[in-house]
Amino acid sequence: MAMQFVVGLMSGTSRDGVDAALIKTDGLNSVDAVAFQFEPYPDDLKAVIADACDLAMAHPQRVPSQSIDDCENLLDQRHLAAVETLLETAGVPANEVAVIGLHGHTIAHRADLGWTWQIGQPEFLANRLNIPVMSNMRHFDVMFGGQGAPLIPVFHRALFSDASQPVAVLNLGGVANLTFIGTDGALVAFDCGMANALIDDWMGQKTNYPFDAGGEFAANGTIDESALLAMLDHPFFSAPAPKSLDRKDFNLNPVADLSAPDGAATLTAFSAKAVALGFQQFPARPQRLIVCGGGRKNDTMLKMIKKYSGIPTVLTDDLGWDGDAIEAQGFAYLAYRCLHGLPITYPGTTGVAEPMSGGVLTRPDRMAAGKIPA
């Protein structure tokens, strides 16, 4: 397939903003990073998103909601601004972009009940930018019995596959997920636990800070071993992979009575221990661990991961890839694969019965029906 420009949009469980990435790819093994743009959320929008997540997770199925619709409209404006700035900065006209990969924001992920819900309107972006939009890339996987997450492993393989040794990729977002890439390119992947979400919630409740910058609070705290053991006793950790999480699957109750530093230390250890437990579900021990996502900036978490796992660790940035951009780049890559009917999920990554593509393509009203960029 030809190398083409593709945009990816990701609003993660950290709820800090929209990541927008422009790459050039053939949807196979060639990926060139072109530009990256972060569109931050103001505090009032973060609160609106949190409320939408609470409302969505309070029901066993998707429910109509004006407040969720209003949240979606606000997100659409942020998505639009991010893409416009991205393309302007890169100097790439919209008519040279093959497709936009729109992840949207997950307000509920209930693979156990057969549904997942990402908000963000593809028709809004398609018509405002006159670019086709690929969305709902988790939907079909869940519909056919998969976990619908994680989706990025096939992109990890395109970037970091090493035929000489097995390697693991760790994404530390709100939730943490692991990808194992075997020497033959075989993929095993799953959510392994929480990363930043609980720590951010804790910092917001106990301090005047939205997150533990560099892990400084955790570094000055003492891990409460009883609280840590209680959190690790959750049945999720003994469940076989593939498996996935929602941000709401864990809470702060076990650390509620701790000081701010001790709670931060305990929650950081919880995230790190979960990564080490995840390695036990790999088919072989990886020779190195490549870390991306916002949590890679938490020095205390990284030190704990190295201590508990005993595996040499490098950052994506050390390999020439911006660790903040990986997920947005990944959804650009997935969108291009979906555009051409290539698989994005596999039995080893989501538990789906066979490799499958996905996504729903929304064309701009101004684009002739059936005319899809080659």
pLDDT value of position 88? 98
**Is the pLDDT at 366 greater than 80, yes or no?**
no
Distance in angstroms (rounded) separating the CA atoms of residues 233 and 231? 5
| Mean pLDDT, residues 13-19 | 89
Tokens of 140: 């079909």
**Is the pLDDT at 369 greater than 70, yes or no?**
no
| Mean pLDDT, residues 154-168 | 89
pLDDT over 90 percentage in the chain:
91
| Mean pLDDT, residues 128-154 | 96
Band of pLDDT at residue 372, cut at 50, 70 and 90: very low
Indicate the DSSP class of residue 320.
T
pLDDT over 70 percentage in the chain:
98
Give start and end residues of each alpha helix (H) in the chain: 43-57, 66-90, 122-129, 139-143, 153-160, 197-206, 216-219, 225-232, 260-279, 299-309, 326-339, 347-350
Q: CATH number of the domain at 4-148+324-362, out of 3.30.420.40, 3.30.1360.200, 3.40.50.300, 1.20.120.1770?
A: 3.30.420.40
**Is the pLDDT at 374 greater than 60, yes or no?**
no
Architecture of domain 153-319: 2-Layer Sandwich (3.30)
> Are 179 and 156 spatial neighbours (Cβ–Cβ below 8 Å)?
yes
pLDDT value of position 80? 98
DSSP per-residue string spanning 25-45? E-SSS-EEEEEEEEEEPPHHH
Q: Where are the domains of the chain?
A: 4-148+324-362, 153-319
Band of pLDDT at residue 163, cut at 50, 70 and 90: low
Considering the entire predicted model, what is its pTM?
Answer: 0.92
Read off φ and ψ for residue 136, nearest 5 degrees: 50, 45
pLDDT value of position 252? 97
Query: How do residues 178-214 score in pLDDT, each as one tens digit?
Result: 999 999 999 999 999 999 999 999 999 999 999 999 9
Average of per-residue pLDDT values in the chain: 94
Collapsing DSSP to helix, strand or coil, 59 comes out as coil
- Residue 41, exposed/middle/buried by CB under 10 A (0-12, 13-18, 19+)? buried
**Is the pLDDT at 328 greater than 90, yes or no?**
yes
Residue 345, beta-bridge partner list? 356
Distance in angstroms (rounded) separating the CA atoms of residues 359 and 138? 7
Read off the amino acid at residue 211: F
**Is the pLDDT at 302 greater than 50, yes or no?**
yes
Distance in angstroms (rounded) separating the CA atoms of residues 50 and 71? 10
Q: Computed over its alpha carbons, how large is the radius of gyration of the chain? A: 20
**Is the pLDDT at 135 greater than 80, yes or no?**
yes
- Residue 202, exposed/middle/buried by CB under 10 A (0-12, 13-18, 19+)? buried
> Are 86 and 100 spatial neighbours (Cβ–Cβ below 8 Å)?
no
Residue 25, beta-bridge partner list? 4, 31
| Mean pLDDT, residues 157-181 | 92
| Mean pLDDT, residues 360-370 | 78
**Is the pLDDT at 368 greater than 60, yes or no?**
no
Look at strands 289-292 and 313-315 and give their pairing. parallel
Residue with tokens 């088919």: 283
Instruction: Please report, in angstroms and rounded to a whole number, the separation of the first and last CA atoms in the chain.
Output: 9
Query: How do residues 218-246 score in pLDDT, each as one tens digit?
Result: 999 999 999 999 999 999 999 999 999 98
Band of pLDDT at residue 373, cut at 50, 70 and 90: very low
Query: How do residues 262-295 score in pLDDT, each as one tens digit?
Result: 999 999 999 999 999 999 999 999 999 999 999 9
Query: How do residues 304-317 score in pLDDT, each as one tens digit?
Result: 999 999 999 999 99
Q: Do 4-148+324-362 and 153-319 agree at the fold level?
A: yes
Residue with tokens 């393509």: 361
**Is the pLDDT at 129 greater than 90, yes or no?**
yes
Distance in angstroms (rounded) separating the CA atoms of residues 345 and 164? 24
Q: What angle do CA 284, 317, 218 make, to 5 degrees?
A: 80
Residue 8, beta-bridge partner list? 21, 101
Distance in angstroms (rounded) separating the CA atoms of residues 9 and 80? 10
Give Cα 73 distance to the centre of its chain. Answer: 21
pLDDT value of position 164? 76
- HSE-CB of 307 using CA atoms within 13 angstroms: 12
Give Cα 79 distance to the centre of its chain. Answer: 16
pLDDT value of position 367? 64
> Are 332 and 339 spatial neighbours (Cβ–Cβ below 8 Å)?
no
Distance in angstroms (rounded) separating the CA atoms of residues 188 and 1? 26
Task: Show Cβ contacts of residue 323 under 8 Å, excluding neighbours closer than 6 positions.
Answer: 291, 292, 293, 296, 315, 316, 317
